[in-house]
């Protein structure tokens, strides 16, 4: 599921307010356009139209690729100091799934078992690196003749 919302953000530098789109989650299979923003480092990054100040809006973010079957959950690093944050997880480090999601896995069966294996990260750059890792890996294992463009920039 892709969840994006419009928020009014006040510039931390010049205090001018402006609207921007915040992404809580991005399903790249459904919303490929969001991936470009992520790869260009613009996703959830505030850019002030008045003074040019640029700053990440540090909110949790989920990246989900249904084709390659992986998902990444990003949490702001300050979450690590929050007692309640740890209540979201099972003992094996996986996030407790909402009941609805558990049911989907039951219905879809084996192919959706990956939804029980999130890659949890505390750095947005790590989201990018893991996406590249999985995409190059999938490309190489697909038996494609040409090398993935990332290997030959
Ligand atoms: Zn500003």
Locus of tokens 């009941």: 99
- Domain residues for 29? 3-79+89-151
pLDDT along the chain (153 residues), means of 10: 89 96 92 88 94 95 91 95 95 81 67 80 94 94 90 82
- In sequence order, what are the beta bridge partners of 45? 56
CA of 51 to the centre of ligand 1 (A): 4
CA of 73 to the centre of ligand 1 (A): 29
Within a domain: 84: no
Burial zone of 45 (CB within 10 Å; 0-12 exposed, 13-18 middle, 19+ buried): middle
Structural domain count, the chain: 1
Within a domain: 7: yes
Instruction: Please tell me the predicted confidence (pLDDT) of residue 103.
Output: 67
CA of 79 to the centre of ligand 1 (A): 27
Global pTM reads 0.86
Within a domain: 52: yes
Q: What are the backbone dihedrals phi and psi of residue 148, each rounded to the nearest 5 degrees, phi first?
A: -60, 135
């Amino acid at each position: 599921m892709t969840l994006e919302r419009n928020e009014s953000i006040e510039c931390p530098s010049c205090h001018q307010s402006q609207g921007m789109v915040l992404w809580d989650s991005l399903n790249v299979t459904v919303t490929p356009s969001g991936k470009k923003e992520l790869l260009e480092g613009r996703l959830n990054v505030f850019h002030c139209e008045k003074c040019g100040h640029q700053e990440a809006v540090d909110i949790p973010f989920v990246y989900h690729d249904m084709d390659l079957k992986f998902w990444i959950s990003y949490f702001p690093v300050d979450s690590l100091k929050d007692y309640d944050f740890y209540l979201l997880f099972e003992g094996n480090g996986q996030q407790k799934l909402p009941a609805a999601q558990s049911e989907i896995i039951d219905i879809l069966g084996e192919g959706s078992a990956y939804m029980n294996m999130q890659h949890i990260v505390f750095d947005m750059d790590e989201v990018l690196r893991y996406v590249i890792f999985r995409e190059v890996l999938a490309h190489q294992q697909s038996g494609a003749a040409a090398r993935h463009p990332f290997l030959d920039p």
